Structure 1
Amino acid sequence: MTDKTSEYTADSREWSPPRRLGGLPPYPLADVPDIKARLLAEGRTVIDLGVGDPGLPVPSIAIETLHEAIGNPVLSKYGFQRGLPEYRQAIAGWLARRFGAEVDADLEVLPVIGSKEAIALTALAVLDPGDSVLIPDPGYAPYFGGAYFAGADVIRFGLRAEDGYLIPPDVIRRARGRLRLVYMNYPNNPTSAVAETGYLKDVVSACRERGAVLLFDNAYSEITFDGFRAPGLLDIEGGREVGLEFHSMSKTYNTTGWRLGWATGNRRLIGALRRVKTFFDTGAFMALQAAAAAVLQDPDAYIQRSLEQLERRRHAAVAALRDAGLDVQAPRGTLYLWFPVPSEEKAEDFCRRLLIDSGVVLLPGSAMGPGGEGFVRASLAIHEDRWEEAGRRIQEAL
């Protein structure tokens, strides 16, 4: 991580960025939009495998409900933290069907403006400055961001292939300091690793022993393959007492721009996060919540259709990338393929060169933390018919 504090001026008459920003990692490939724009201006096509957006159609019932709800003046008012009661009830119903557990829609469900902001804000709800936080490396940026802005002692654990990209429970037991928060995400972004129920039980036990809150990011719970069913805290005896589980409408229902999700779990933690959020937002647009409620009450045929399309993409992607000479394994979950950089280059340098030479965008693993160096992430973001061309371009650039 680069220390940029030396760039700041002590001249109080002129504004300069706070030192706090100097502790944030630089944004990798910040020049990608400019490179893409230049390539397009030259008449070249760009294949973007870097974005974590499935790009599938939004459920029709969501569109229809939103069209009707947007004309309701009541739904244009502040929703505040509790949001639309029908949305909370729909979430509780979905959780009951999915995990077989009854959830109190008033006390154990918190609607959030996409899980990203709430995952970061959880650190402010849980931690005192100096508390220890364990985060996976590589991992989703809000894990580090939330812990960093909360003034925590951030412990990065490097995910390793030999561990199945899992954080061993003993790492939680032995973590330094006053461990109060553990971030965990399975099915995992970016490695696509999955966790079995037995493993999650051990993690819950380890967190209980340490008195640490487990933040379980389950955004990809419904995007799994080969018959695998992703577990959640509600599957584990005592799981909800130990932590919070986050779900997102973005990936499951292809509504990334709608910014809708929820947290469920320990009532005191839900209350603490709700209190923090009252100082940062006044809730998501309630017409969107009404549309989401309609989707969550609909049969799961939509999810199955989406998975069938993603399965075809997965098959095409693995075949095309292997033909290009890349060491790729078929993921059991998420939208991503995770593989080693096929050269001696740094991940960011490889991805930049590939974009310039071939017009293909990949995400360097280092964008997800220093533990991702040497790896690249590709997303199932394009139609299966385009993967052959993507593979050919990559092969020609190697």
Structure 2
Amino acid sequence: MSEPDFYRVKRLPPYLFAEVNEMKAAARAAGEDIIDLGMGNPDLPTPAHIVDKLKETVDDRRTHRYSTSRGIPGLRKALAAYYQRRFGVSLDPEREVVATLGSKEGLANLAQAITAPGDVILVPNPSYPIHPYGFMIAGASVRHLPLGPDKDFMSELARAVQHSVPSPSALVINYPSNPTAQVVDRAFYREVVDYCRRHGIWILSDLAYAEIYFDGNPPPSILEVDGARDIAVEFSSLSKTYSMAGWRMGFAVGNETLIGALTRVKSYLDYGAFTPIQVAATAALNGPQDCVDEHRAIYRRRRDVLIEGLEAAGWPVPSPRATMFAWAPLPERLAHLGSMEFSKRLLTHAKVAVSPGIGFGEYGEGHVRIALVENEQRIRQATRNIKRYFATLSETG
């Protein structure tokens, strides 16, 4: 029997990280020590008081039953309280907050809820893969907005709206950005909100890296802007803030219509996260926040070690102001290789794994993403390995 031609699967391109991942797995199987700075998988442990709350709750057999798809009331109230103290934004936990199984699930299910086949969705490029592909799976046509130092976002947005048929129905934005680590201010959000309100475009904002910032200026929420709640929903996650990636605990907040649509779709698809996880997540949001400051300081030190080490290796890379990533232009003498081949050579010759920029979209070509997911000693070793690899290139001309 020939391979089935499934419509939604057919729309997905080959997974562009697969080749590097397979090489990494093969090298490790052969006993090689690979320093993995590819996947953004936090290595810091979840704070003890959160784990303790999980252990305490899981012993209550009543929590072993089905939970609530939209999130237990205490968790939704805790998330609303976080938005109030962090952003000065008041949310109704009943109508404007829904818990999700990580932000990826929320984005994908909202795409299913609001998208009809053929709808045009605007997505930055490069971007985190779920941003375009969640909508592509839902049947949408994705129009990419190229990002880069030589691109003006508002000009690209206006051009895309002018030349899209039918008119775009939604815009995805992600700041602090994965993969580029770009940050924006409230003025940027005001301009985007004003434009999208005039053109009847929903906004989906991904704020997963709100608490990993290094310059003393906490990234804002789009919901701080007047009128944003008329058209915008925002996704957040505990994965990076509290190093709870495997717990799969996220949220969507904002526009009541969008939250209602997501909640309804989710009610058919899941019973929510395991109740002890939701109780522990509530403890994370309501409990002491010094762990967040500690994690931020660790990532800052790792960032500095990475940037200084790469500079010493002859590879100047912009220092990220936020996120757990550096968005690194390919070294000038190796730029001709492209991001995929460069990543493969870095893995083979320096034993360092990074993510090729092309995996985040065509406008990510010419860069690699380096994740701060190893300790300072390992990052120093990675930069030394890279320096030695570059030295062999000099010796061979």
Tell whether the structures are fold-level matches, with TM greater than 0.5: yes
**Which of 279, 282, 291 is the matching residue for 1:293?**
282
Residue equivalent to 1:256: 245
CA gap of 1:142–1:166, structure 2 versus 1, over 3 A, is farther
- Return the offset for 1:57: 1.9
> Following the alignment from structure 1 to structure 2, what is the Cα–Cα distance between the partners of residues 40 and 153?
39
Instruction: Provide the rounded CA distance (Å) in 2 between the counterparts of 1:109 and 1:222.
Output: 19
Once residues 155 and 386 of structure 2 are traced to their aligned partners in structure 1, the CA distance between those partners, rounded to angstroms, is: 32
Going from structure 1 to structure 2, the CA distance change for 1:207 and 1:172 (only over 3 Å counts) comes to: farther
Q: Could you tell me which residue of structure 1 aligns to residue 187 of structure 2?
A: 198
Rounded Cα–Cα distance in structure 2 between residues aligned with 1:173 and 1:41: 49
C-alpha separation in 2, matches of 1:121 and 1:296: 24
Partner SS, residue 346 of structure 1: helix
Runs of 4+ in 1 over 4 A off after TM superposition: 164-169
TM-score normalised to the size of structure 1? 0.93
Q: How does 1:177-192 map to 2 (within 5 A)?
A: 177=165, 178-192=167-181
Q: Is the 8 A contact 2:120 2:168 kept in 1?
A: yes
Q: Deviation at 1:100?
A: 1.1
| Cα distance change, pair 371–65 in 1 and its aligned pair in 2 (3 A) | same
Which residue matches 2:395? none
Q: Measured at CA, do residues 77 and 83 of structure 1 come closer, stay the same or move farther in structure 2, by a change above 3 Å?
A: farther
Q: Provide the residue aligned with 1:113 in structure 2.
A: 101
| Mean Cα deviation higher: 111-120 or 384-393 | 384-393
Match of 1:198, as an amino acid? A
For residue 164 of structure 2, what is the aligned residue in structure 1?
176
Q: Is residue 83 of structure 1 aligned with residue 71 of structure 2?
A: yes
Structure 1 stretches lacking a partner, 5+ long: 1-12
> Which residue, 44, 48, 52 being the options, matches 1:56?
44
Whole-angstrom CA distance in 2 between matches of 1:325 and 1:17: 48
Give the match for residue 375 of structure 1. Answer: 367
Q: Could you list the per-position Cα deviations for residues 219-247 of structure 1 after superposition, in whole angstroms to 9, with x for gaps in the alignment? A: 00111111122111221111122111000
Counterpart of 1:8 in structure 2 is none
- Check conservation: 1:159, 1:166, Cα contact below 8 A: no
Give the distance between the partners of 1:167 and 1:139, measured in 2 at CA: 18
Greater Cα shift, 243-252 or 143-152: 143-152
SS at structure 2 position matched to 1:355: helix
Q: What residue is the counterpart of 1:246 in the other structure? A: 235
How far the C-alpha of 1:261 sits from its partner, in A, is 0.5
Pick from 388, 391, 396 the counterpart of residue 388 of structure 2.
Answer: 396
Residues 340 and 166 from structure 1, CA distance in 2 versus in 1: closer, same or farther, beyond 3 angstroms? farther
> CA 1:143/1:320 → structure 2, altered by over 3 Å: closer, same or farther?
same
Give the TM-score normalised by structure 2: 0.93
Higher deviation after alignment, 329-338 or 30-39: 30-39
2:197 counterpart residue number: 208
Q: How does 1:208-287 map to 2 (within 5 A)?
A: 208-287=197-276
1:185 partner letter: N
Secondary structure at 1:44's aligned position in 2? coil
Count of residue correspondences: 386
Find the counterpart in structure 2 of residue 132 from structure 1: 120
Superposition CA RMSD, Å: 1.8
Aligned residue for 1:104, secondary structure, equals coil
What one-letter code is carried by the residue in structure 1 that aligns with 2:169? R
- Aligned pair 1:158/2:150, yes or no? no
